[in-house]
Amino acid sequence: MRKPYVKNSGQAAVELAIFGSLILLAFSVLLMYGQRLDNQQQVKMEAFRRALQKSYERNGNVSYTLKKEGRTFNLFSGFGQGQSSTVGSTATVLWQKGMPGKPGNEESKGFAYNAINDMEIGSVDEEGLPRYPKRQINISGKEVTVWATPSTYSEEQRRTEAYSSTVKKEESPSGGIVNTRISELQDSVSITPRVRVDKSKSKANDLHYVPLPDYVYEGQSYDNEGSNQTVASLPSVDLEAYSTDDNRVSYREDTDSNVNTIRRERSWQTDY
């Protein structure tokens, strides 16, 4: 018995709606992951280039930490909202031509830099993070004073974000309905790095001796040959989000008490 042909258009529509949504969801998740991975790779390359430039200028060892605040695509966020994203990287480069240090200065020094969205955090007296003296046994067995750079062990971040969205539908005189979607976003962030200094005494002439770290945290003091040394706190960095010329969201130094508002608007018309 021949089975009569049945047109299952309803079943095909249901399958397309279900599997089509799953495919779009998979592509959206892949896009979110790819965007963050691309941002991370860019920050890694930029941190290395900056460390290479600074080590060439210093003619010595430089550690450069770079962090970028930004906003990335988020499938589950509102129109024009996205989500905040922080990526960072640290690069260490040793450049030495002849004696270490700048010409005329034979004292070997290591330098550290910390930058957040192109804003370098440094001391008042010199470029880069402040350095602190500590005692060390050199390769000849003589006890000397070297300069240690602090390390960032934690970071306090305070973010204020406000988002609003409006959807309007108006009848057009020419026929149809004009749909308008408007969003407004305010985003400001304050970042405070917390640092510490390792004052443990190492021995360069003993390759098997590895001292345990003896950290001094910011605000604390330690004695170095009768001189009292205090680890200074690093200043906070205040940033606010703004819209660039290519309609992307970036962050800049917040120097005004008025928070910048990013406005997005999209309109389209549908028939009755």
Residues of the chain with pLDDT > 70, as a percent, come to: 89
Residue 255 has pLDDT above 90, yes or no: no
Residue 105 has pLDDT above 50, yes or no: no
Mean pLDDT of all residues in 195-209: 86
pLDDT in tens, 85-103: 889 999 999 888 776 555 4
Mean pLDDT of the chain: 84
| pLDDT band per the 50, 70, 90 thresholds, residue 220 | very high
DSSP letter for each residue of 156-178: EEEEEEEEEEEEEEEE-TTSSEE
Contacts (Cβ under 8 Å, ≥6 apart) of 61:
55, 92, 93, 94, 96, 100, 110, 111
Q: How far apart are CA 229 and CA 102, in angstroms?
A: 25
Q: How far apart are CA 175 and CA 90, in angstroms?
A: 59
What pLDDT score does 104 carry? 43
Name the pTM for this structure.
0.78
Closest by CA to 229, choosing from 109, 121, 147, 158, is 147
Task: Rounding to the nearest 10 degrees, give the CA dihedral for residues 119, 88, 83, 41.
Answer: 110
What pLDDT score does 230 carry? 92
Residue 216 has pLDDT above 70, yes or no: yes
pLDDT in tens, 21-77: 788 778 777 888 888 888 899 999 999 999 999 999 888 889 999 999 988 888 888
pLDDT higher at 196 or 21: 196
Closest by CA to 215, choosing from 234, 235, 194, 236, is 194
pLDDT in tens, 226-238: 888 899 998 889 9
What pLDDT score does 48 carry? 96
